[in-house]
Amino acid sequence: MIKTKKSYLFLILFLIAGMTSGLLKARARFEPSQDPQVQQLIIDLSKAFEAAAAKISPSVVPIFAEQIVQVQSPFGGPEDPFKDFFGEDFFKQFFGEGGKPEKQIQHSLGSGVIVSKDGYILTNNHVVAGAEKLTVALSDKKTYQAKVIGTDPQTDVAVIKISAGNLLAANLGDSDKVKVGEWVIAVGNPFQLMHTVTAGIISAKGRSMVGLADFEDFVQTDASINPGNSGGALADLEGNVIGINTAITSPSGGNIGIGFAIPINMARQVMDQLIAKGKVIRGYLGVTLQNIDDNLAKALKLKSTEGAIVAEVAANGPAAKAGIQQGDIIIEFNGQKISDNTQIRNLVAQSKPQTQAKVGLLRKGTKMEVTVELGELQKERTGKHQEKEKPEEQPTNKLGLSAQTLTPNIAQQLGYDKDHGVVVTDVVAGSPADDAGLQKADLIKEVNRIEIRTVQDFNREITKVKKGSTVALLVRRGPNQSYVTIQVQ
């Protein structure tokens, strides 16, 4: 009995000793390292942030914008689509009695980056758009009235200028060399808190389809960006500007760690044209391009999803004159490999009109190269179609849609004059066609690159497609064409 009690006592002491050792080890893990090399590394990193902030901060300035607006009542007023990025109104709004229209001055705050000693400042278009008066405050607290040199809504870039000299201009870096995971700082004036510096990393590069501009190639960062930061600097740890802070993604309007900046290489190219000409002149290829996903690659028997497929060729445009055809896949532009639609679109836009461009193509499995003389991109137009009449339907149950041969009368109503194909007259909810996004009034022009002119043509080609396979349709909606893939059931 005594022996058993001693055994229990020994076991308890052993457990206590083990727990104590574990707690001490755990505490050691959470205590600051005493290793001199580790401590020096932390100090050096801190100094790098300090040096970068000290270098770039004097070149980032607040931009105060005043805009005259009309209000109808204390409960209304024009909504600003860039509200989340623009900064809040500084002063309380005053409204006329009885809901009568009344002019008032709306104040807002953004940021800008000084890019020259003589007063040129790079910022966002949405910071200055519609402003009646722009005021810039320098770090020495002097204020200057600014004039707009040029704006480019398609990239959300603007250049303004103040009459001042001997300014401390920011050093513009090379955004092409920025790496995902690299430390960066964001400098701006969020919520009227002047010259605020936040830190983070580069979360991603080449972000497009964000819906903020026509030409997008954003750098994504988790450095805090908030209202008032727009137009400010995203800088590396050497204090070089690698982006112009533009927007955030947030359900609440506040920072959640997803911010976007225009790459400085794109912003600089636009800025140089705005300063020299007051506008941006872009190259024009004359094609409608589309990304290639796995389903489309499978349907068209492509080896990869690299490149951008030509969904439409503008009549008498540069591409048409060079022999580029619908269904061609652009894989290179002036020797640079093309990964997607956004890349080729931006490269063409950044090229000068009336210059020769070498375009690498993949046509039905065969590689080829053509030389295109680029045109000048004009303002894009959007098309609308009239309400359609109900045509006679022929169901295609395999896809879950009904279609009708395009007649001259239907073509005139829908804006499909001088075109061919079958018009979608109905889509079954939950069907493969519905899942693929097909809609009434869509015009189907090809099935797996076979031209379609009648419902009979369409049904014949769909019948050839085996169950479980993916079919590629060339579809026109209004003035636009694209390839749509559907898995046949």
The single residue of 108, 111, 126, 431 carrying the catalytic annotation is: 126
- Listed as own residue / partner, the contacts of 159-163 with beta carbons closer than 8 Å and 24 or more positions apart are 159/120, 159/121, 159/122, 159/123, 159/271, 159/274, 159/275, 160/63, 160/112, 160/120, 160/121, 160/123, 160/128, 160/134, 160/136, 161/118, 161/119, 161/120, 161/121, 162/119, 162/121, 162/136, 163/119
Would you list the DSSP string of 209-257?
--SS-SS--EEEE-S---TT-TT-EEEETTS-EEEEEEEE--SSSS-SS
Return the H-helix or E-strand segment holding 360.
strand 356-363
Is 126 part of the annotated catalytic residue set? yes
CB atoms closer than 10 angstroms to residue 148: 17
Q: Among all chains, which residue has been given the structure tokens 């004036």?
A: 189
Nearest in space to 399 (alpha carbons), one of 472, 449, 456, 450: 472
| 158 contacts 166 by C-beta, under 8 angstroms | no
The single residue of 57, 108, 152, 156 carrying the catalytic annotation is: 156
Would you list the DSSP string of 402-447?
EEEEPPHHHHHHHT-TT--SEEEEEE-TTSHHHHTT--TT-EEEEE
Q: Among all chains, which residue has been given the structure tokens 């069907």?
A: 431
Phi–psi pair at 36, nearest 5 degrees? -60, -35
| 226 contacts 190 by C-beta, under 8 angstroms | yes
Nearest in space to 313 (alpha carbons), one of 327, 300, 302: 327
The single residue of 230, 351, 431, 482 carrying the catalytic annotation is: 230
| 126 contacts 156 by C-beta, under 8 angstroms | yes
* CA angle, 484 then 485 then 488, to 5°: 135
| 445 contacts 420 by C-beta, under 8 angstroms | yes
Active site residues: 126, 156, 230
